[in-house]
Structure 1
Amino acid sequence: MANMIMRVLIILGIWILHCEITESLNCTAQDAEERLVSSLYNELLDGYDSRVRPCVNGDAVHVFLDVFLASLDGIDEKHLDYSITATIHQRWHDPRLTFNGTTTLPPTAYLVDRVWHPNIVIGNAKEVLLHHISDTNQYVTVDWDGNVTLVQRLSVKLSCAMDFHRFPMDTQKCNMDLQSFGLTTSDLVLLWGAQKLEFHSHHMRLPQYFLIGVDFFDCTEQRYNGIFSCVRAQFTLERTLGYYMLQAFIPSIALVMVSWVTFWIDVRASPARVGLGVTIILSVISKTNGVRLDIPPVSYLKAIDVWYTSCLFFVIGALLEYALVHHLSLGTKKTKQKVLAFIPKQGSSSQESAMGVSHGTIESISAPCRISRQHQVIRRDETTGELRTTASAPPLDNKHPQPLQTTSPSGRQASAIGRETSRMQGQEVSTCYHCNSMPGETHVIDLISRWLFSIGFAIFNICFWAYYLPTNYTPEYLTDDEKFVSHSVGNL
């Protein structure tokens, strides 16, 4: 038993001693590595001048740029700009920073201000913010062969020259220009790296746009003081039509179709037809002004202007169509009244009998609006000379219809009845002609308009959507081998 306990104590002691030795060796190795890294930093920076570019008397420094697009934050159409959050990688070769390849230097912000790096600016930036969450979001890595990488995380608001000719079926192309600020192409050349641009599709979703692709260009430009290198990433953004379809197109189509209801309303219902037409016109104008608030005022014609102007043309046309129909109706009535005014005054009862007319009372004059016009006769009162309408009984055979007779008044009573008849004549006969004389032209115009307006609006829709709907866009750099870039709208 004592031997067993002795063996256990010996094994335990050996294990404790092994752990202490291992820990001591690890600490020694770590201390040695830390001292090596520190000495490397001191050795690399010893005599290093960060104010001088690499190979100052040699070829230009080639800087390779890669961008990781963290998010597309929004597009402000009124101010013509858009916002992104991106991490920019800048890589170049500095032979002054080469060292033994057995050691790797970790990324550090310590070298940001202690090594030379290119002064690259975003040419079309309005605002640039370097993130300082917990610490400054930038660092430098140095490889053993002298390749240096500067990484910075930025939030940028960039200007975008937008074109609204096809709004709201438009496709905007917004640029991000990375260019040298002080060094010309003889000292610094900017190039896109292997990755160029990396982004994840779920970070690129916007309420009204799809990011459908990115193109890359060389935007090197010559100024009065030299040629400056520049590279450009162009984002192609296609507007989604859902919002404007619900807020603009469908309501305006409904308003135009409601304006056609007036073609089925009686021509005598002037308040209904005019009131409906004016209300629809004001509604279309109100919708037009509401949509235009989303974009800055521009001097050229937009697709939405073409749409609303055409809709306004159709609803105003429906109102003008009623004005024409009403005018033709009144014109026909006045023409018939003029014909009646030229009937000669007849003095003999025989001539009145030949016309099939006779004296009538006030009750007989007010009857025509309730009796078919085929059984109405017109006569001139021999006492007062006024034209009056009397009703005749419908013929029982093919004989000439006989007028309805009442007891003919005489003397003052006849004169009073004649004057009252003349007054009632102006109201009853005029109303009768307006009620019963629906001209053939009026009915035909309304009937034609029902088809003409609907077919015309359908043809306009076909032409409008065929012209303004965007065509399929394929960015030139999208291939199946690209690893991080979305290839189509469906992937976004």
Structure 2
Amino acid sequence: MRLQRWLGLVVSAFLALCAPLMTVEGQQRIPTNLYEIVPTDYTIHEPPPLLDGKPVPVEFSVSVKNIPNLDELKQELSMELNLRIYWVDQRLQVGPYFEAFPNNTYMNANPALLNKIWIPDVYTDYTKSVSAPKILAAPASLRIYPNTTVRYSARITMQFACPMDFRKYPADTQSCDMSLESYAFTRDKIYFSWRPEGASINIAHRLAHFDFDFHFNNDKENVNFPSGSYPAITLTVLLHRRISYHMLQTYIPSLMFVIVSWLSFLVPPESVPGRMAICMTTLLTLTAMFAAVRQSTPSVSYVKGLDIWMVVCIFFVFLTLVEYTLVLRLTKNLKKNQSPPTSAKKPEPSTNSKASPMEPQMQPAKNGEEASAFHKFTGDVVSGPPSTESPRTCLTACIGGDGPDCWRNPTKRGILILETISCICIPGAFILFNFFYWPFLLTNSDVPVNSAA
């Protein structure tokens, strides 16, 4: 009796162990463990067999969710996206599962199965970090379709280097490439390409200073090494800077300061404090503005478009200051040449009603205002009642046409010519500079960018 009892227990245990392996006639057993879809002779070291003698296609698609950071000083770009990878592995035995569940379009597997099957060795060039927003588990999914197509999808945040060219800053267009390449398998084994749907852009906000667009390159030809040619594809992020910020912060204020420096041409040359204050104030303000702009822009060894504008603005204010310095020098020479010698004795006024025939009789000025203005300019002292109007320089008198003939004196004529040419040529040269500067800055030969926001 005891022996029979032990034999019954052994038979029951054997039947319980063999029950999952038993199949109903005409049916295949449903794999209860997903690892059973991997055959025993499967190797993860070799890619799937060629399809019709061609390399195994590995396809990609992305869904860009966010561009959280663009560091121009470090030339780095961060991008949050869903990356999907598709490949075909005919060695997987998924037939019994889909025969048992014909309504299912795919098998949802645990991403841990990737440790048991072959996966493409995809890496990104110039990448600094790749992370996942993990809470309990990494945000990833693995699907297997009836035709043995494997789809892996994951949410990742990628930070990669983006070499930038700031020659046309702040109207520049930056191109950042995210390259997906294979490290071990050459083009005769696998082939990389973007899926027809390419990518979807799901960014719900606009970048602070840029409009963006995405371009996809199916084949990157320059990944060639002595060991062979490796497959690679590229996602290019085009960033076109909006110039409106710098127009309000830099261009318009600096332009107004240059125009203020030209107002010094309306100030009489003898008003030294007023005219010098205008020139020096605008020059120092533009210099301080240029220093502040350079601190907030990337440091590069070449000249940027904004640097050209600021240097030219400072140069034209400097020209205005140099012009006034020359006017002061010519005015000083004019006073020195026309001042009477100090050793000469002034003649005493005669008490006689008639002047001596040897003495020149002083003729009254026809216009007291003109005489007063002229002698004030030349430094002579004139007697007589003071003028009721404000004194004018020789330049203003000549322009008005009612003063002494300034053209007879070479120094006075030089002052008049210098002031006239400066107030016309300096603004004209700045306007001519703008005709060349803005087409150069705004003309971009890169791929046109559409605002995707």
TM-score exceeds 0.5: yes
Give the match for residue 10 of structure 2: none
State the match for 2:151 in structure 1: 149
Amino acid at match of 1:356: P
Q: Name the structure 1 match of 2:236.
A: 234
- Residue 118 in 1 paired to residue 116 in 2? no
**1:311 paired to 2:304:** no
| 1:300 aligns with one of 278, 296, 302 | 302
Q: CA RMSD in A?
A: 3.7
- The Cα of 1:47 is off from its aligned counterpart by 4.1
Question: Distance between the aligned counterparts of 2:356 and 2:176, measured in 1?
Answer: 90
Q: Conserved in 1, the CA contact under 8 Å of 2:214 and 2:235?
A: no
User: SS at the partner of 1:202?
Assistant: coil
Contact 1:375 1:392 in 2 (8 A): no
Structure 1 277/37 Cα, relative in aligned 2: closer, same or farther at 3 Å?
farther
Question: Aligned-pair distance for 1:186?
Answer: 3.0
Give the match for residue 26 of structure 2. Answer: none
Deviations 1:224-282 (A, max 9, x none): 33322111111111001111111110111111011112111221222222232122112
Aligned-pair CA distance for 1:89? 0.9
Match of residue 179, structure 2, among 174, 177, 180: 177
Residue 74 (structure 2) aligned to one of 79, 85, 89 = 79
Query: 2:358 matched to which residue of 1?
Result: 354
Report whether the alignment pairs 1:92 with 2:87: yes
2:337 maps to what in 1? 335
Look up the match of 2:450.
Answer: 488
Query: Is the 1:333–1:434 Cα contact (8 Å) retained in structure 2?
Result: no
Q: What residue number does 1:36 align with?
A: 30
Letter in 1 for 2:296: D
C-alpha contact (below 8 Å) 2:173/2:446 kept by paired residues: no
Quote how far apart the aligned CAs of 1:206 are: 0.9
Q: Tell me the residue number matched to 2:425.
A: 452
Q: What are the ranges of 5 or more consecutive residues in structure 2 without an aligned counterpart?
A: 1-28, 386-392, 398-403, 407-411
SS at match of 1:182: coil
Question: 1:168, 1:241 within 8 Å by CA — same for their partners in 2?
Answer: yes
Alpha-carbon separation, structure 1, partners of 2:384 and 2:298: 73
Between the aligned partners of 1:151 and 1:231, the Cα distance in structure 2 is 18
Distance 1:208-1:392 versus aligned 2 partners, 3 A rule: closer
Distance 1:142 1:373, change over 3 A: closer
Contact 1:263 1:447 in 2 (8 A): no
Find the counterpart in structure 2 of residue 467 from structure 1: 440
**Counterpart residue identity of residue 455, structure 1:** G
1:310 alignment partner, SS class: helix
Query: What amino acid is the match of 2:183?
Result: F
State the TM-score, normalized to the length of structure 2. 0.75
SS in 2 for 1:111: helix
d(CA) in 1 for partners of 2:194, 2:116: 25
- Whichever residue aligns with residue 71 of structure 2, its letter is D
Distance in 1, Cα, partners of 2:329 & 2:295: 40
Q: 1:54 aligns with which of 48, 53, 58?
A: 48
Give, in angstroms, the shift of residue 449 of structure 1.
Answer: 3.0
1:64 aligns with 2:59: yes
Give the aligned residue type for 1:48: Y
1:210 aligns with 2:211: yes
* Contact 1:222-1:228 within 8 A present in 2 as well: yes
Change (3 A) 1:373 1:130: closer
Match of 2:11 in 1: none
* Aligned partners of 1:371 and 1:391 also within 8 Å: no
**Cα pair distance change 1:225/1:353, threshold 3 Å:** farther
The structure carrying a bigger helix percent of its residues is: 1
Q: Contact 2:124 / 2:178 at 8 angstroms: preserved in 1?
A: yes
Deviations 1:273-322 (A, max 9, x none): 22321221121121112222233322222111111111011100111111
Code of the aligned partner of 2:261: S
Q: How many angstroms apart in 1 are the aligned matches of 2:396 and 2:450? A: 66
41 and 343 in structure 1: CA distance in 2 versus 1, 3 angstrom threshold: same
CA shift, 1:169, in A, is: 0.7
Amino acid across the alignment from 2:326: L
Q: Distance in 1 between matches of 2:257 and 2:342?
A: 46
**Local SS of the residue matching 1:95:** coil
Aligned partners of 2:382 and 2:108: how far apart in 1?
115
Query: Aligned to 2:60, what secondary structure does the other structure show?
Result: strand
- Matched-pair contact (CA < 8 Å) for 1:264–1:446: no
Structure 1 unmatched ranges of 5 or more: 1-34, 359-367, 379-387, 394-431, 476-486
Q: For the residues of structure 2 that align with 1:225 and 1:342, how far apart are their CA atoms?
A: 99
* Percent of residue pairs bearing the same amino acid type: 24
> What is the SS of the residue equivalent to 2:108?
coil
Note closer, same or farther for the CA distance 1:434–1:454 as it changes in structure 2 (3 Å cut): closer
Q: Which moved more, 1:81-90 or 1:288-297?
A: 288-297
Asked if the contact 1:68/1:199 (under 8 Å) is kept, the reply is yes
2:333 aligned partner, one-letter code: G
